[in-house]
Structure 1
């Protein structure tokens, strides 16, 4: 679909995706992928085709993604500068067809979500997990998706609760996706689906919302020949800051003690030197039934979410940037001024591929103003 340094790879198939025929790529006019790292959100895609009135393409998508078999898997990957990145590994969820006018081509659109859409369809209510801690339950739930190339990445909580089967047996309530998210929330964790590293494989990550690692190449604003961002806007919402307070029970006196939780941790270091004081206090009362360590972990996860008072949104051309900007990772920003330069966490990226162009709309967040680093990494 794209010529030059960017090459699009589209794989489609029931359960096992395969490269599409040439006529499918020729009909493809645009592909949009929305990748997000926000807790509780799912990544999605949209493929747009221009087809003739009697083209077999819509019928093939509808039949292959119909009731037999029930899953039409779609993988979108791009190669930039010789490095391949999988943008999404998902399933088709809806289609639409707009007939052409005056003999013009029809517009056929395929929409879908990442593989967590399948987890939303499987209701495991009543499934028992005797003597299994939360991490073991997560691995058991994810085992059924191994056939789709989903590799579980499960980080055990710092505090492991192994229920005594003579006293209680944990039972799943709701769909697999809802149950995985509920277990993650109680542990102060997140659950997300990460495509790649190669087409047909992906990771199901259940663990802390870490904001550490090697930063991606910096986004440069108004820097002459080094400029690689088309536009960017910054914001600082001092009213967004929230001070979470958890409640723990003293084992000796049985008294309920409120404990304020800071918005930083080893996995969520401060990315800004000046952090506005929290404008509101939020009480997390459900922690009173948890142990002290569990309550603190849940509070730290809430604090990290509430702390993102500084935001940055913009767009870039991938060819000029030289690589694909990825969510769930850090990136440097230069040229935004003293208050806004520094490292950010990439919250979401919208990839837009058309013939001859590949652009990205991105959203960045961090917990304060002024960079914590003397020099932003290039």
Structure 2
């Protein structure tokens, strides 16, 4: 790999162990995606007729789907970063007529895959609030090194067992996503901070406020990105009007406008685009007051950003590994687009002698509300 970049690959059923030298020598490319609904990875190997992978490891089940766990760690300038911790889901081999040019591709997803394998339609949670249900479900996966971090809904809701008994729909992951969507939260698994450890997060989509080193564009010798572009979507902002029944008679409809501003993400732009759409959701009139309040907060938590950006960088020139679900500054894009942004997703592309990243950014409006970008 590159000077200053060391890649560690752990593979195995149950507890992954360092990959043998023959596997590392055959490794041609690594791609890891993070920051989305579910993280994933892909490993590409160059194999030949006499290779250990082709003749021994594959027949012995070394890369078998579901059973094989993979951990990818990139150490940049002495600082380790756990890029992926997941399970193999697919293997593909492409034989070639040229010696040593056959390719084996291993694809996998993060450990939330294990939560999506078995449906639990008969699971009941009598008198258990949402937060208790979340911890009860995630406790089953502690053996995989998954530590839960769950934040209770803003408006508590303890179901009366004489009126209703909550029951699970579908798999554990589907039910956790359903609970999160009901109160405007997100659910995902983040690998790290140590190899073999993972964080299962259930809560509002809060980005870590400490900004990462800035992305510089059009700054001559100080430029540290290969490409960067921005776009402003004038249709992104909207006003949602919820119609709820009055809590006394349950007959009179009350319209409640919900602004398209996230109460959890601090504003980063001075000029917020005017909302261009008006929506009336039709599935809220029957909700009780606590569910309606959580629904309204969920709409505010999920407010869309008007400005999106995308680009790519070379990690060695940037000097750091850009992480998703954090903040980063931008310099050199002009007065309208300089400033702080949220990093929504990152894709890592690692090959011999190369470590690049592609990324997606977003924020709420034009013109930064901070005088300078640090660091």
Shorter chain as denominator, the TM-score bin is over 0.9
Correspondent of 2:57 among 51, 60, 85 = 60
Assess if the C-alpha contact under 8 Å between 2:146 and 2:197 holds in 1: yes
| 1:107-135 deviation per Cα after TM superposition (whole angstroms, max 9, x unaligned) | 00000111111111121111011111111
SS at match of 1:184: helix
Please identify runs of 4+ aligned residues in structure 1 that moved more than 6 A. Answer: none
Deviation, structure 1 residue 105: 2.8
Residue 3 (structure 1) aligned with residue 2 (structure 2)? yes
**Number of residues of Structure 1 aligned to a counterpart in Structure 2:** 372
Distance 2:371 2:218 in 1: 20
Distance 1:15 1:289 in 2: 46
Q: 1:375 to 1:170 in 2, by over 3 A?
A: same
* Mapping 1:121-132, distance limit 5 Å: 121-132=117-128
| 1:154-182 deviation per Cα after TM superposition (whole angstroms, max 9, x unaligned) | 00112111112222211101011110000
Could you state the TM-score of these two structures normalised by the residue count of structure 1?
Answer: 0.94
Correspondent of 1:316 among 309, 313, 323 = 313
Correspondent of 1:283 among 275, 280, 284 = 280
Structure 1 window deviating more from structure 2 (251-260 vs 10-19): it is 251-260
Match of 1:27 in 2: 26
* Mapping 1:285-304, distance limit 5 Å: 285-292=282-289, 294-304=291-301
Could you state the TM-score of these two structures normalised by the residue count of structure 2?
Answer: 0.94
Match of 1:214 in 2: 210
Q: 1:184 to 1:104 in 2, by over 3 A?
A: same
Structure 1 window deviating more from structure 2 (157-166 vs 332-341): it is 157-166
| 1:202-232 deviation per Cα after TM superposition (whole angstroms, max 9, x unaligned) | 1010000113511111111112332111110
Assess if the C-alpha contact under 8 Å between 2:262 and 2:302 holds in 1: no
Match of 1:330 in 2: 327
Distance 2:296 2:247 in 1: 19
Correspondent of 1:258 among 239, 252, 255 = 255
SS at match of 2:137: helix
Structure 1 window deviating more from structure 2 (93-102 vs 219-228): it is 219-228
Residue 116 (structure 1) aligned with residue 115 (structure 2)? no
* Mapping 1:181-220, distance limit 5 Å: 181-220=177-216
Unpaired runs of 5+ residues, structure 2, are none
Cα RMSD of the aligned pairs, angstroms, is 1.7
Distance 1:73 1:61 in 2: 15
Assess if the C-alpha contact under 8 Å between 1:89 and 1:115 holds in 2: yes
Assess if the C-alpha contact under 8 Å between 1:212 and 1:268 holds in 2: no
Residue 152 (structure 1) aligned with residue 148 (structure 2)? yes
Match of 2:81 in 1: 85
Unpaired runs of 5+ residues, structure 1, are none
